[in-house]
Structure 1
Amino acid sequence: MSQSDVPSGKKCRIAEIVQYTCELENQESGSPQVHCFPIPRIFRICPGRPAVEITKLVNVNMRTGEVDIPPETSQNLPKAKPWRDIIRYDQPLEQQTDQ
């Protein structure tokens, strides 16, 4: 998506969320210890469009946390759909046609 796809006067913004994955380990003493690791996720949010995750397209400096967004990112964005347009294929076919 390019800036020309965005309604005039409105710009896209970048948002970050941090999710965590955790593992439960048993210590030698037998007591459980939880270790969690951060997973940063970067999104491009444009007015009137679904948010698109661009985490794999950006460069994150893990020491400073600085995010570098290459200029060609706009041309490489994956296609996105609003959630209401997503079709779940784990439902029986007759339920999909009723929606």
Structure 2
Amino acid sequence: MTTQETKCRFAEIIQYNCVPRTNRQGHPTTVYCVPIPRLFRLCPDRPAVEVTRLLDVDLTTGYIEIPRTLEQNLPRGKPWHEVTKNNDQSQDVV
């Protein structure tokens, strides 16, 4: 999907959150996984920005509605070399 005005496009990746299931003796039996779709806006000469929470997605059809405000107010993104790890152990990435 590409917007004509900005030459930006959207990309989707699917990540999975998996939890092992165990029996009464504590031995693993199966792994239960839930898909987590993530949507990103990719614009030339700018870092990719995750916009999953900003879009309205119809889960039955897969149709994505892009709010007009997204065109004017993109969330800020950083190049990977500017992403730093927080010293606080309770948070992974700033």
| TM-score past 0.5 threshold | yes
Root mean square deviation, CA, Å: 2.3
Deviation at 1:49, TM superposition (A): 0.4
Aligned residue for 2:71?
A: 74
Q: Which has the higher helix share?
A: 1
Q: Which has the larger radius of gyration?
A: 1
Count of residues paired in the alignment: 83
Aligned residue for 2:55?
A: 58
Distance 2:18 2:40 in 1: 23
Identity percentage of aligned residues:
47
| SS of equivalent to 1:72 | helix
* Structure 1 unmatched runs, 5+: 91-99
TM-score, with normalisation over the residues of structure 2? 0.73
Would the aligned equivalents of 1:23 and 1:34 in 2 still touch at CA under 8 Å? Answer: yes
TM-score, with normalisation over the residues of structure 1? 0.70
Using CA pairs below 8 Å that are at least 6 residues apart, which structure has the higher relative contact order?
A: 1
Distance verdict in 2 for CA 1:68–1:13, change over 3 Å = same
